[in-house]
């Protein structure tokens, strides 16, 4: 008999796989045991000791469907109301780090596959389950490693991963999201150079901190260009059509007004806002060596997220006029935006399965993420990838804030909904 997904999730939470250091191989061995008991030999790929990714395959045929999640979690931090790695299940709630990012998805994918095996469902294709290492630190030892060194192990027609916003209740309807893309990163370091001098006579020096502070202030005031990616325009138009307060269709000239009229909670509103523009956030600054020395050097690190059609040259052209004389820009990390089409039949199938499970009065919409998942590697390898965030209609909305935060938790009904979605999707696609 296949274990319930909440039991698997509880046991996964109890395996401490905080990254760093990771310890994902412990998760991989646990999963390997579950599949071996079901008659499937899973594989562990370990580029470094302890940093294992688990892969299992069921069925056979030319069609290939990839279910991706990650085995690592972020550090728990302090001030939790319960032990972060307890995995307790009480009153329909599962508690602990990873409960919603994203060991719940991992548990749902595993149980969906195990149930298909247990029920003897014949698949005319392969279902691939991949529990990646290292996602929380960039994925170089997980999805990045596989794509670079052994892409044949995960190549598929399309993939299901994390990445979508959790559903919202808007204008009397549940709205479910599919993540079809991610913004790119164009992180940079700003370097200001001046002339050192004695702090008691600052007029003889040129203060690099002051110079950089002015540049950072101008970045803070910068108003980026509004860009409506077709999928985001579709998302905003649908939400606006549902709202009594919105009279106009979304356009670059009215987006901020429209977002204020939708009446959504602040966190989701700001997520929508970030989908419509490049964001620039100066997040660290360092300079000076001593109180009585005017600094001749100061640097700041800036987190920049870009939309499709924007690249490093675009960022440089936008930012350079704001920096002023004596401030240089150095790009430290660049990843282009990635996208998968919402017009594909596979996307339509995901919508159909979702509505069959949650009710035809719900709505499914595409979205893009300002953050990053392993889907960037998959799309880069030519695998269309879609993120889900399915939750039960009665899920605790306050659980949203526990992702990467304290008191992380999810509910049993939501984990079971994810499982049912993944199982049914595999049955229909690989029929």
Tokens, residue 30: 């646990």
* Proportion of the chain above pLDDT 90, given as a percent: 97
Q: What is the pLDDT of residue 431?
A: 86
Torsion of CA 252, 255, 257, 260, to 10 degrees: 180
In angstroms, rounded to a whole number, what is the distance separating the alpha carbons of residues 115 and 133? 24
Which of 335, 366, 385 finishes a domain?
Answer: 335
* 135 confidence band (pLDDT: 50, 70, 90): very high
What pTM does this model have?
Answer: 0.93
| Same-domain status, 45 and 120 | yes
CATH of residue 222's domain is 3.30.70.360
Structure tokens at 141: 């030892």
> In this structure, are 176 and 200 located in the same domain?
no
Whether pLDDT at 334 is above 90: yes
Residue that finishes a domain, picked among 335, 354, 382: 335
Q: Dihedral of CA 392/393/397/401: which sign?
A: positive
Mean pLDDT of 369-386: 96
Mean of pLDDT over the chain: 97
- One domain for residues 13 and 158: yes
Same domain as 159, residue 24: yes
Give yes or no: residues 283 and 359 share one domain. no
Within 10 angstroms of residue 199's Cβ, the number of other Cβ atoms is 15
User: Each residue of 393-412: pLDDT tens digit?
Assistant: 999 999 999 999 999 999 99
Residues 384, 276 within the same domain: no
Q: What is the pLDDT of residues 202-248, one digit of tens each?
A: 999 999 999 999 999 999 999 999 999 999 999 999 999 999 989 89
- The SS3 assignment for 96 reads coil
H-assigned helices in 79-124: 103-118
Choose the weakest-confidence range: 4-8, 250-254, 264-268, 269-273. 264-268
CB burial readout 310-320, b (16+ within 10 A) else e? beeeebeebbe
Instruction: Find out whether 329 and 188 touch, Cβ atoms under 8 Å.
Output: yes
Side-chain-side CA neighbours of residue 283 (13 Å): 8
Asked if 205 contacts 294 with a C-beta cutoff of 8 angstroms, the reply is yes
Are 294 and 366 members of one domain?
Answer: no
* Per-residue CA distances from 267 to 195, 201, 347, 388 (Å): 43, 47, 26, 18
Q: CB-based contacts of 49: which residues, under 8 Å, 6+ apart?
A: 25
Last residue of a domain, one of 288, 306, 335: 335
Number of domains in the chain: 2
Range of the domain at 351: 5-180+338-429
Residue linked to tokens 């599919």: 178
In the predicted structure, residue 170 carries a pLDDT above the cut 90:
yes
Q: Do 359 and 304 share a domain, yes or no?
A: no
Angle at 429 between CA 428 and CA 431, to 5 degrees: 65
Q: What is the per-residue pLDDT across 295-315, written as a single tens digit (0 to 9) for each?
A: 999 999 999 999 999 999 999
Are 162 and 271 part of one and the same domain? no
pLDDT of residue 1: 84
């Amino acid at each position: 008999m296949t274990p319930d997904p909440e039991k698997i999730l509880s046991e996964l939470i109890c395996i401490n796989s905080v990254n760093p250091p990771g310890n994902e191989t412990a998760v991989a061995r646990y999963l390997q045991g579950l599949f071996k008991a079901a008659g499937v030999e899973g594989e562990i790929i370990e580029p470094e000791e302890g940093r294992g990714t688990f892969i299992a395959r069921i069925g056979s045929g030319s069609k290939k469907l990839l279910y991706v999640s990650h085995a690592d979690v972020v550090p728990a931090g302090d001030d939790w109301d319960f032990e972060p790695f307890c995995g307790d299940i009480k009153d329909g709630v599962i508690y602990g780090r990873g409960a919603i990012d994203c060991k719940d998805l991992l548990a749902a994918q595993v149980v969906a596959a195990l149930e298909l095996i247990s029920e003897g469902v014949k698949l005319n294709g392969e279902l691939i389950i991949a529990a990646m290492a290292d996602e929380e630190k960039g994925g170089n030892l997980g999805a990045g490693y596989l794509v670079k060194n052994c892409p044949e192990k995960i190549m598929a027609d399309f993939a299901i991963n994390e990445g979508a916003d959790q559903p919202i209740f808007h204008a009397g309807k549940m709205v479910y999201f599919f993540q079809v893309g991610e913004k790119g990163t164009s992180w940079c370091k700003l370097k200001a150079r001046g002339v050192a001098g004695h702090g008691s006579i600052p007029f003889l020096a040129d203060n690099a901190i002051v110079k950089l502070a002015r540049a950072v202030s101008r970045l803070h005031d910068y108003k980026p260009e509004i860009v409506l990616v077709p999928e985001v325009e579709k998302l905003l138009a649908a939400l606006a059509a549902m709202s009594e307060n919105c009279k106009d269709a979304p356009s670059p000239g009215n987006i901020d007004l429209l977002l204020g009229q939708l009446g959504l909670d602040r966190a989701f509103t700001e997520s929508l806002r970030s989908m419509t523009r490049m964001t620039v956030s100066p997040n660290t600054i360092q300079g000076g060596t001593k109180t009585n020395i005017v600094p001749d050097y100061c640097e700041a690190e800036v987190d920049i997220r870009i939309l499709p059609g924007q690249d490093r040259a675009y960022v440089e052209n936008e930012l350079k006029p704001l920096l002023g004389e004596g401030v240089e820009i150095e790009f430290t990390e660049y990843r282009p935006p990635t996208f998968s089409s919402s017009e594909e039949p596979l996307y339509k199938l995901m919508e159909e399965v979702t509505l069959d499970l949650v009710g035809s009065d719900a709505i499914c919409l595409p979205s893009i993420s300002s953050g990053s998942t392993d889907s960037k590697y998959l799309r880069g390898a030519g695998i269309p990838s879609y993120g889900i965030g399915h939750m039960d209609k009665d899920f605790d909305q306050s659980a949203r804030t526990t992702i990467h935060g304290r008191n992380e938790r999810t509910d049993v009904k939501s984990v079971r909904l994810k499982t049912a979605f993944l199982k049914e999707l595999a049955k229909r696609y690989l029929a």
